[in-house]
Structure 1
Amino acid sequence: MGDESRFKSYEQDQGALFPVFLADALDPSDPAFFIQDAVEGLDLRAFEARYAVLGERAYAPRLMLKLWLYAATQGVYSGREIARRIRRDVGFRYLAGMGRHPDFRTINRFRVRHREDFAEVFRQTVRLARASGLGALGVVAIDGTKIRANTSKHKAMSHSRMREAEEKLEREIASILARQDQENAEEEREHGDDDDGSGGLPVELQDAQRRREKIRAAREQLEAEKGERLEARHQKSFADPEAQMMKLGDGALQYAYNAQAAVSEDGLIVATGLSTQVKDEQHLVPMTEAVRETTGHRPGRVLADKGYLSERGLREMRRQRQRCLIAVGREGKKLPKWPRGSCTQRMHRMLRLPWAKRSYARRKTQGERPFAEIKAVMGFRRFMLRGVHKVRGEWDLVCAAFNLRRLAVRAAATI
């Protein structure tokens, strides 16, 4: 045993009473408190309208939304893990309240059911931030990042292999039908025309037909997307047909979505976007419009990297009298001598001015920091849902959690 007089007493099996209120067991700066207060102030009538009056009572939307937002700030994006955290983590249990708690299926269904409602939750977090003095729109940086989809190359097939698989399945179906006709003829010779009522197609034929239709649907979608640019090597994922092959930040070529964000001067996300398009140039005007729709105000000036540069986009921004600085060349490199297009040439001349250089210099830290924080701190590197509409809702939820997290940090600093 040794001399225990040097150490504090330690009794592992000693009985103890938890605090009367779980809030007493949490640190005052825990983001659970801020999320609790923030969600209580949100208008969730759109959520509540999706539930019927009759039938078994559902868990309160406020409860479920608090769990998902808090989970995102803690780097948790699985319904199963949230259900486990409710039993183990005081912060989750505090937000879940006393009494019965939702299981992982209920938690996951909530995220899918309300995928369209998360956009309004995000907008309300922006309004909350602007009411507290954040979300300055003098200079707004627009940027995008590629986030992995919930699929992989192993669940995909190239166009040439799809053709081969379809032909193989056609032969397999024809063989099964021929064998079935032979067996039916033998049974008729043996038993006559009596029908025992079993009917139906053989299971192996049903499976072959389902595989053929699934491959055909993926092939037709791939052909529609690529058009004349279609090559035999182009492939499509069966798990998430809407995801596209994109080059990620680490250089890997994976199925992903292009997630967009417009960031205010003080690092708040004030508009979101998501698409299956690999290039960013199509998002310049829509993201600028999204800022106005979310906040009710136009940005003073928009900053974006070379990926957003296009003659059409610059022309539209000028038509709307929206000031912007879009890189003409790669950052850190010399500007090209003389680009094509009158609007691009005008931007080229503007970026040489001292005030434009100073203004554009802040783009990298302002526009890219939220993505670094979402991926590194909040641990969001891969979408959990599948399909562009569900993934868009998931991105809105993550961005709403990011805004609340920043607001919680700011509030904790004043305590």
Structure 2
Amino acid sequence: MARGKSFKVSFKPTYQNQAMLFPPDLNEMVSADHPVRVVDRIVESIDIGLLLARYKPGGTSSYHPRMLLKVLVYAYMNNIYSSRKIEDVLGRDIYFLWLSGMSKPDHNTINRFRSGRLQKILQPIFSQVVLLLCDEGLLSLKELYTDGTKIEANANRYSFVWGKSISNNREKIKKQLNELWQYAQSIAAAELNSPTDPTDPGPIDSSKIKEVIDSINQALSEVAKQEAIDPKIRQKLNYARKHWPDALDRYDQQEQILKGRKSYSKTDPDATFMRMKEDHMKNGQLKPGYNVQISTNNQYILSYSIHQNPTDTLTLPPHLSSHIKHLKTKPSNVTADAGYGSEQNYKWLENRRITAYVKHNQFDRNQNKNIRQKKRFTVDQLPYDKDQDTFTCPAGKKLINQGSFKSHSHSGYEQTITKYKCESCAWCRLKKECHKQKGSRVIEVNQQYRQLKKRADKRLNTKRGIQKRKRRCFEVEPVFANIKHNHMFKRFMLRGIEKVNIEMGLLALAHNIRKKVA
């Protein structure tokens, strides 16, 4: 380089304001192997006849539902869940522009399509996609791995109704009504003419309240002509007549919404308050949410269902029934954790000849020899003689059958419980370790459940059972982690169980297509 000689910096020219003779072709700007083309190809290959039937002829033209479905699926694949954000990317993102064919539906159109048109339609569409993936050999419909997680509802965290509060308030009203009735009887027994007795243990309603209060008022009015009535009693009666009937009507409406649940949110009545791992206040607070159940194979989601029950125990039969209904295929085996190991679930699977690799709540504890040695006095550890129908305690004493009785679980499932009583615990040196009951030890055993657990233990400890247990850990849980943490979906956007079902379907579709193109 010559001394003193300078060089000018050279930049590539820009043509920002240059007019184009021919506009750019979007198809050429989207690479052949881009995920957006996979979305387009899959949605084009499925039957959307049920969705098309939702549209009525006449009126102005509508955006094609197949195009809107493609846009929604691709948006959920890219962590775009808000209808306003989808509207935004439809005006500037080249892949969305290509997918929509330059159409630009607004957020209201997108939201109406998602929350209205797709109701009860998306699940059959999702099942078609699962069957396509199965035909490509990417998954199997015969082996299921099932688990659940809780996702927060789009509802106020501090606005709720508790079933226990309703029953407590009813009891308070009944108690106070009884006190008023007793007072009226003490001074005006002859004047009381109500055929309804508030001390009756049966349920009370607004009509019964009005009848009793009117009767008390009438009786006290007759007495007031001759002697003074306590003004506090008058005040209570006026308050009761004004507020209690409306309160009882409100409690009736709330109990209809609860439908056996313990709680619900006022802003989303379908949501139940549940304890979740994602705790914004770090104090174990309950939050409104839904119990999401999925079944996977090869980390593909085969089926999903939404439940209002916080526990997994009661979700397995309805979830698998939905799986069989939509995929028209019964699985040969199901693998799940101890949250599903109930007598009802074991029996349900056994009746349908589905092999259950499902733990019960004592399985992991029974695998540990140290824990098993410490818990040698528990019922599960007592030797049982089937011929004599007796248990033997660690001291060698027999526990003899005392008869059976019927019991019902929270779901209404009938169980048979058998009582066994030790022949004598007097002077036993192990009594303090064995039990704290007065007199001889009495145990209650569900023999059918006990046999089902023994069969589950045997199945889970086979070579195939151990393999299934190991595989379950990296089948379902990574799918939830991918959706909730990698793709930041921790709270539903829509309200109501039907709309939440749609969102879960879109999430499942997005997950499966993402995995296919990965």
Short-chain TM bin: 0.7 to 0.9
- The range that moved more, 102-111 or 36-45, is 36-45
Change (3 A) 1:386 1:74: same
Change (3 A) 1:249 1:29: farther
Distance 1:67 1:213 in 2: 48
Which residue does the alignment assign to 2:484? 375
Counterpart of 1:243, as a letter, is A
Q: By how many angstroms is 1:262 displaced?
A: 0.8
- The range that moved more, 328-337 or 123-132, is 328-337
Where relative contact order (Cα < 8 A, 6+ residues apart) is larger, the structure is: 1
Which residue does the alignment assign to 2:88? 84
The correspondence of residues 224-263 of structure 1 with structure 2, limited to 5 A, is 224-226=259-261, 235-250=263-278, 252=284, 253-263=286-296
Change (3 A) 1:130 1:354: closer
Which residue does the alignment assign to 2:501? 392
SS at match of 2:154: coil
Aligned equivalent of 1:105, options 103, 108, 123: 108
Structure 1 residue ranges without an equivalent (≥5): 168-210, 227-233, 410-415
> Deviations for 1:257-308, whole angstroms, at most 9, x for unmatched residues?
01111101x2211111111011112222333333333433332321000111
- The range that moved more, 58-67 or 329-338, is 329-338
Aligned equivalent of 1:309, options 296, 318, 341: 341
Q: By how many angstroms is 1:105 displaced?
A: 0.3
Q: By how many angstroms is 1:143 displaced?
A: 0.8
Change (3 A) 1:270 1:22: same
Change (3 A) 1:321 1:22: same
Query: Matched residue pairs, number?
Result: 355
Which residue does the alignment assign to 2:254? 219
Which residue does the alignment assign to 2:221? none
Q: By how many angstroms is 1:405 displaced?
A: 2.1
Equivalent pairs: percent with the same residue?
Answer: 28
Change (3 A) 1:341 1:102: same
Counterpart of 1:290, as a letter, is S
Q: By how many angstroms is 1:212 displaced?
A: 8.4
Query: Does the alignment pair 1:30 with 2:37?
Result: no
The correspondence of residues 6-405 of structure 1 with structure 2, limited to 5 A, is 8-9=11-12, 11=14, 13-15=16-18, 20-98=24-102, 100-113=103-116, 114-157=118-161, 160=165, 219-221=254-256, 224-226=259-261, 235-250=263-278, 252=284, 253-264=286-297, 266-329=298-361, 334-335=366-367, 338=380, 341-405=450-514
> Deviations for 1:214-271, whole angstroms, at most 9, x for unmatched residues?
9657633466535xxxxxxx6532110110011223355211101111101x221111
- Between Structure 1 and Structure 2, which shows a larger proportion of helix residues? 1
Change (3 A) 1:130 1:19: farther
Change (3 A) 1:64 1:224: closer
Distance 1:405 1:21 in 2: 26
In the superposition, the TM-score normalised over structure 1's length comes to 0.76
SS at match of 2:291: strand
Distance 1:90 1:212 in 2: 57
In the superposition, the TM-score normalised over structure 2's length comes to 0.62
- The range that moved more, 253-262 or 279-288, is 279-288
Larger Rg: 2
> Deviations for 1:85-130, whole angstroms, at most 9, x for unmatched residues?
11121111111113x4211000000011222111111011111101
Distance 1:108 1:101 in 2: 13
Counterpart of 1:104, as a letter, is H
Q: Is the 8 A contact 1:115 1:394 kept in 2?
A: no
Q: Is the 8 A contact 1:142 1:304 kept in 2?
A: yes
- The range that moved more, 78-87 or 275-284, is 275-284
Distance 2:320 2:161 in 1: 37
